[in-house]
Structure 1
Amino acid sequence: MAQTPTSLQLKDAGNTLYLKKDYIGAYAKYTEAIVVDGDNAVLYANRSACCLAIEKYLDAAEDAQKATSLNPYYPKAWARFASAQAALLRYQGSVISWERALDALPRQHLSAAELKQKHEFEEGLRSAKLCLAIVNERGAPEGSIKIHKPDQEKLPWRIAQRILPRMRRRNQEEASKSSAWVIAMAWEEFGEGVKLMRQLKTTPREGQQFLSEGTSGVLPLLTNGILRDRRVFHISGARWFDDYNKQLDFEVKVTKAWPTLSPQQVLYQAKRGLRQKGWDEVRPAISTTIRAWVMLGLLDSLVGRAHHVALEHFRKVIEVLELGRVYWKTVPKEQRGSIFDDAFIRGIHAYSKDPGLNSKFQLALLFQEADDLIKETRADHYLPEMPYDPGFLSSFYIYPIGAGLAAKGFYHAQMAEYVTTREEILDHSHKAAQFYLESANTYPQDDENHAWYLRCAVEYMWKCGTELRVTLVVLKRMREAIPKMKEIWGFVETGKMEELQMFVDAEEMLLKEVDRGKVTLGDLAAPVWAIDKKDIDILHPAYMIMSGTEKRTQKEKVFTPYASGSNWDSEGFLEGQF
């Protein structure tokens, strides 16, 4: 009979794999060792190192924190905790952990290895302090959050609420062609959630105990509102995060949820709970757990701008929901809860198609997931007899397709930067324009995404070579959409509005050049700022310099046609594509 390996043997095997950079294999060995010896700080610290190597920062932080609790005087554990916190943009905690790592080293007579550690820890501490100073200066969440208080009546959801009566007087098909439904219905849920969240009261009792009185079900309102349209999220007061954390603690206690557990542990607890108590007990617990993770992801993405961390939370959500749908596929929807519905899962998938990825492997994964999202959404036909509002249909059946198409456009736009041959650059630019244009056509004309993705489409039409007769049509559509967009989205980011205005100015300049006879509608023309010099040399070796407009001091370049221009029709659509 084979002898069971000891924790030391498993640790040594993990060390060997780690040195070979087989981090997944090493992680597995350290996990086996932890099963044998769960109170060994070294094992948790080593597994944390594996998580750092494979960029699983939440898991790295959890393991490192466990190691510091088992041995508060273990320098490497504090250092790995500090590294994980920095990766999660938690710089204040990272500074404290680096200081604890230095304090855990001997005061004198340090060995060569300890001197090296001291230098590394000091460098880590300096870096964390610098990052903390930067985010404090910018008003990021780690420092003082800047609360903007614009005119409430000019907020998009307020404007949308005033527009809705006019929309309702139209037939449903026409009414649904406005983003007013999307943002107004998103605010209806999110705003109600914030109102109820603020009504939570906590009363101190004897000792360290507090009595909380409030309304459960706030998390569903907040998450549903943001998943309908993330643009509804805003921080409306300095106590927002404090109120939210109290509400979260309240709902976790009321529903007996498990937000601190891993996906596998959550599924285990859910199965055990079903055997003992049934769905009435498990449904609220698993819903609160999932929605707490969703909120973590949303806050990391929207407030902390830590998109890589947000994706970790969303992957945990998707893992539980996808496996749960397999385990409980025969359970009626009303018993297992709305979090297992197609629309909810699609909302998570659509949100997680964040284009903040920059490696070829990640881009390929993004493209495949975006393609899957589009196919699944188109295959899932909603039932007309269901009492869906037009905003729901847009949020979960139309906008996810637009998001998926934009992600595919982003993929090809990034790949155009990676490849080197003329044919590859043209091909990826051509496809980027195609997907951005199709994405723009998915959104209502008064949604900011409509005008923005038309702008993106024109950018890559210029890069792949497109006749003026086509680019001018798309530029006109963008220009005509901007006033409709501004009616609701007057608070579009200043940077975006400046970008859109540049393209409006470009249309005006190009039309003037056509009137002057300098170019024809059959020429490939673009402003000088639209094409990089390297792209000119590779893609458009023949071009001429033309005089600038009154608004610009620099000259504009207009390119002459070349043999392999893109095949678009006169309405700005790729022939045979739309």
Structure 2
Amino acid sequence: MSSDDETKAKVEQLKAEGNELHSKGNYAAARLKYSEAIKLHGENAILYANRAAAYIAQRQYLDAAKDAQRAVEIDPAYSKAWARLAKSTFELRVWRPSINAWKKALETLPSADLTAQQQQLKQQYEEGLKQAEAELQKNESKTMEQHNLRSIPADQRPWIRALAMEDVLTSNAVLNTSAWVIMNAYKDFSEGVRYMKEIKKTDTGIHGNMNALQLIINGLLRDDRVFHMDSEDWLDKLQLQVQFEVTANEGWAEGGPETVKEEAVKRLKEKGWKAIRGALGATIRAWFLRAYFAHRSGSSISLALQSYNNILDVLDWGSRTWHDVPTSDRGVIFQKTYIRAIRRLKMDAYLGALKEAEVDSEYNVEDLMELANQIVDETTKNAPKEGDNDEGPLDKGAWYSFYVYPVADAHATLGAIFMQQGLSAKQAGDKAEMESMLAAASKFYKKAAEMYPPDDENFALYLKVAFEAEYHLGKPLSETLPLCKRIRDSLPGILKIWEMSPSDKLTRHIPDIDRFEQRAYTGLLEKKYTLETPSSEVRLN
């Protein structure tokens, strides 16, 4: 037997061994056999197509696409190679090349007198083509329309979807989910709103429930994404409720922190804890609502920050002054978790103010960084200890609301600061500063994402911003494409709850990832890029 014959025999043997291993589900070993055969015969389309099949089985779609591409270059009439190219590009979400490959696969089949096997292949190819065309149409028809509450069906809002999951989560003892957070936020918020709607103004005065504001604000402090107004008179009712509770509790309708602190001490001596607890609680809640609406409406971030500062002035003072007084006397507003939640919202407002600030603004990066680090340090220092009941029992979701989310958002805030500094340095041509700041931005955004449950929209959002930092850094595709995949893989779990989120974070940010992946993988398949190509060479949006 000649050496050529021996080589051919060895190739056939390796191919047969690979096929057998593949049929048994041992795809990694099968791939190695095909690779050995390819070393002996590098112009064999079947070997490349078979190795592509092994890669597909292992979900290594880019490698599969490269092998299938090589197979059709060697033998353009090989239908299975075209089908594997179509399948792998479909899984890479590169729809047009997938469609073209499915069409080529169909073209290579006989036009008539098909065998049973060819008929089966034709059906598979037609189904694959149909799916790829549907995905392309879906992708091209995506809009950036925001999901405001008027356009979101009531039964599809995140808190309602979370409530529908409660029994299953309970029976399976699932805790690592954002469902508990938004669900319990909604329970507090909706109960408070229900009480608020009962308020009546008559000739004899205002009559209502004294717990409405406490419940509404508790819901917002747990997760303020729960906020929504479901009636035309919602704000009118809220204003009346504030008036009612401040008046009934003899709160401070006028004056600032110094007035409240001075008079609170006097009133405590005269009337005791029950009177002062109600007065302070009603006043702080009225100030909070002023801050919250000024911030979220965008009407005046400066007013929001002033109000948050007033609240924290009184709360920090009270928690120091009455540190040894039980919560049952001084009230929940002096709990560390309550103060931390207020500080978290202030941080968000300050970040917004800084983004809008002009040169020589009263807002500066150093103060925001100090605030973010303060939240991280204070939360870490005051992690709940067994037997410590002063902060109240931790229900499902409270751990995230008051211990995890504040720290995660502080990390994201630091990431936002470094991101802006990195982009400014890039624009100024300061490469060293750019690289340092963008690397820090990526690091902090990833830390923030990792702290959120994997089914929270912020998990995907923060990873996406980390991706943006690495994109501007010029990280190679070998590093950014896996990050894109991680974001995409998280979406099914996230969409179960947050698909109709009023924040619209997903519809504003995720399409960038889709487009980037499609352009990157198309470039890789066309050999325009390699995995070492800087990501910044691929157009992002």
TM-score (normalised: structure 1): 0.63
Evaluate the alpha carbon distance shift between residue 384 and residue 521 of structure 1 in structure 2; reply closer, same or farther with a 3 A threshold.
farther
Tell me how far apart the structure 1 counterparts of residues 458 and 326 of structure 2 sit (CA, whole Å). Answer: 37
Contact 1:149-1:236 at 8 Å conserved across structures: no
Tell me how far apart the structure 1 counterparts of residues 536 and 149 of structure 2 sit (CA, whole Å). Answer: 40
The one of 164, 169, 172 equivalent to 2:171 is 169
The one of 403, 411, 421 equivalent to 1:405 is 411
Aligned-partner residue type, residue 369 of structure 1: L
**Partner deviation per Cα, 1:228-261 (whole Å, 9 max, x = no partner):** 1111111111100110111111101111001421
Evaluate the alpha carbon distance shift between residue 257 and residue 529 of structure 1 in structure 2; reply closer, same or farther with a 3 A threshold.
farther
Tell me how far apart the structure 1 counterparts of residues 219 and 407 of structure 2 sit (CA, whole Å). Answer: 19
Tell me how far apart the structure 1 counterparts of residues 494 and 433 of structure 2 sit (CA, whole Å). Answer: 35
Aligned to 1:373: 375
Aligned-partner residue type, residue 424 of structure 1: E
Tell me how far apart the structure 2 counterparts of residues 285 and 168 of structure 1 sit (CA, whole Å). Answer: 38
Contact 2:372-2:410 at 8 Å conserved across structures: yes
Task: Tell me whether 1:459 sits opposite 2:471 in the alignment.
Answer: no
SS of equivalent residue, structure 1 residue 269: helix
Evaluate the alpha carbon distance shift between residue 312 and residue 529 of structure 1 in structure 2; reply closer, same or farther with a 3 A threshold.
farther
**Partner deviation per Cα, 1:515-550 (whole Å, 9 max, x = no partner):** 4433332332236544xxxxxxxxxxxxxxxxxxxx
SS of equivalent residue, structure 2 residue 461: helix
Contact 1:364-1:411 at 8 Å conserved across structures: no
Contact 1:430-1:460 at 8 Å conserved across structures: yes
Matches within 5 A, 1:472-511: 472-492=481-501, 493-494=503-504, 496-511=506-521
Task: Tell me whether 1:414 sits opposite 2:423 in the alignment.
Answer: no
Tell me how far apart the structure 2 counterparts of residues 202 and 215 of structure 1 sit (CA, whole Å). Answer: 12
* Alpha-carbon offset, residue 451 of structure 1: 0.6
Tell me how many residue pairs correspond in the alignment.
378
Contact 1:256-1:285 at 8 Å conserved across structures: yes
Aligned to 2:536: 526
SS of equivalent residue, structure 2 residue 232: coil
Contact 2:445-2:463 at 8 Å conserved across structures: yes
* Alpha-carbon offset, residue 383 of structure 1: 3.4
Aligned to 2:210: 216
SS of equivalent residue, structure 1 residue 352: helix
* Alpha-carbon offset, residue 331 of structure 1: 1.7
**Partner deviation per Cα, 1:112-162 (whole Å, 9 max, x = no partner):** xxxxxxxxxxxxxxxxxxxxxxxxxxxxxxxxxx97263211111111000
Contact 1:350-1:400 at 8 Å conserved across structures: yes
Aligned to 2:160: 158
Aligned-partner residue type, residue 313 of structure 2: E
SS of equivalent residue, structure 2 residue 347: coil
* Alpha-carbon offset, residue 394 of structure 1: 0.6
**Partner deviation per Cα, 1:297-336 (whole Å, 9 max, x = no partner):** 1111223453232111111000001111222122222211
Evaluate the alpha carbon distance shift between residue 259 and residue 430 of structure 1 in structure 2; reply closer, same or farther with a 3 A threshold.
farther
Aligned to 2:294: 300
Evaluate the alpha carbon distance shift between residue 273 and residue 151 of structure 1 in structure 2; reply closer, same or farther with a 3 A threshold.
same
Aligned to 1:125: none
Evaluate the alpha carbon distance shift between residue 468 and residue 150 of structure 1 in structure 2; reply closer, same or farther with a 3 A threshold.
closer
* Alpha-carbon offset, residue 511 of structure 1: 2.5
Aligned to 2:399: 393
Aligned to 2:195: 196
The one of 336, 342, 347 equivalent to 2:341 is 347
Evaluate the alpha carbon distance shift between residue 527 and residue 284 of structure 1 in structure 2; reply closer, same or farther with a 3 A threshold.
farther
Evaluate the alpha carbon distance shift between residue 500 and residue 262 of structure 1 in structure 2; reply closer, same or farther with a 3 A threshold.
same
Aligned to 2:111: none
TM-score (normalised: structure 2): 0.67
Tell me how far apart the structure 1 counterparts of residues 478 and 419 of structure 2 sit (CA, whole Å). Answer: 23
SS of equivalent residue, structure 1 residue 202: strand
Aligned-partner residue type, residue 381 of structure 2: A
**Partner deviation per Cα, 1:242-289 (whole Å, 9 max, x = no partner):** 101111111011110014211000001100101111111101100111
Contact 2:195-2:211 at 8 Å conserved across structures: no
Tell me how far apart the structure 2 counterparts of residues 511 and 374 of structure 1 sit (CA, whole Å). Answer: 39
Q: Structure 2: where are the runs of 5+ without partners?
A: 1-147
Contact 1:469-1:521 at 8 Å conserved across structures: yes
SS of equivalent residue, structure 1 residue 389: coil
The one of 401, 424, 440 equivalent to 1:431 is 440
Contact 1:297-1:310 at 8 Å conserved across structures: yes
Contact 2:177-2:456 at 8 Å conserved across structures: yes
Task: Tell me whether 1:330 sits opposite 2:319 in the alignment.
Answer: no
Tell me how far apart the structure 2 counterparts of residues 435 and 350 of structure 1 sit (CA, whole Å). Answer: 17
Contact 1:147-1:237 at 8 Å conserved across structures: no
Matches within 5 A, 1:123-138: none
SS of equivalent residue, structure 1 residue 309: helix
Contact 2:441-2:466 at 8 Å conserved across structures: yes
Evaluate the alpha carbon distance shift between residue 152 and residue 514 of structure 1 in structure 2; reply closer, same or farther with a 3 A threshold.
same
Matches within 5 A, 1:166-315: 166-171=168-173, 175-204=174-203, 210-315=204-309
Aligned to 2:14: none
Evaluate the alpha carbon distance shift between residue 453 and residue 170 of structure 1 in structure 2; reply closer, same or farther with a 3 A threshold.
same
Contact 2:195-2:212 at 8 Å conserved across structures: yes
Aligned-partner residue type, residue 247 of structure 2: K
Aligned to 1:468: 477
Tell me how far apart the structure 1 counterparts of residues 537 and 445 of structure 2 sit (CA, whole Å). Answer: 20
SS of equivalent residue, structure 2 residue 499: coil
Contact 1:147-1:238 at 8 Å conserved across structures: no
Tell me how far apart the structure 1 counterparts of residues 298 and 521 of structure 2 sit (CA, whole Å). Answer: 43
Tell me how far apart the structure 1 counterparts of residues 504 and 249 of structure 2 sit (CA, whole Å). Answer: 43
**Partner deviation per Cα, 1:439-470 (whole Å, 9 max, x = no partner):** 11111111111111111000000112312222
Identity of aligned residues (%): 30
Aligned-partner residue type, residue 395 of structure 2: D
Evaluate the alpha carbon distance shift between residue 346 and residue 495 of structure 1 in structure 2; reply closer, same or farther with a 3 A threshold.
closer
SS of equivalent residue, structure 2 residue 243: helix
SS of equivalent residue, structure 1 residue 212: strand
Aligned to 1:11: none
Q: Which has the higher helix share?
A: 2
Evaluate the alpha carbon distance shift between residue 313 and residue 467 of structure 1 in structure 2; reply closer, same or farther with a 3 A threshold.
same
* Alpha-carbon offset, residue 496 of structure 1: 4.4
* Alpha-carbon offset, residue 491 of structure 1: 1.8
Evaluate the alpha carbon distance shift between residue 250 and residue 494 of structure 1 in structure 2; reply closer, same or farther with a 3 A threshold.
closer
* Alpha-carbon offset, residue 176 of structure 1: 2.2
Evaluate the alpha carbon distance shift between residue 260 and residue 427 of structure 1 in structure 2; reply closer, same or farther with a 3 A threshold.
same
* Structure 1, 161-170 or 378-387: larger mean CA deviation: 378-387
Aligned-partner residue type, residue 519 of structure 1: Y
Aligned-partner residue type, residue 148 of structure 1: R
Tell me how far apart the structure 1 counterparts of residues 190 and 160 of structure 2 sit (CA, whole Å). Answer: 11
Question: What's the RMSD between the two structures over aligned residues?
Answer: 2.0
Aligned to 2:82: none
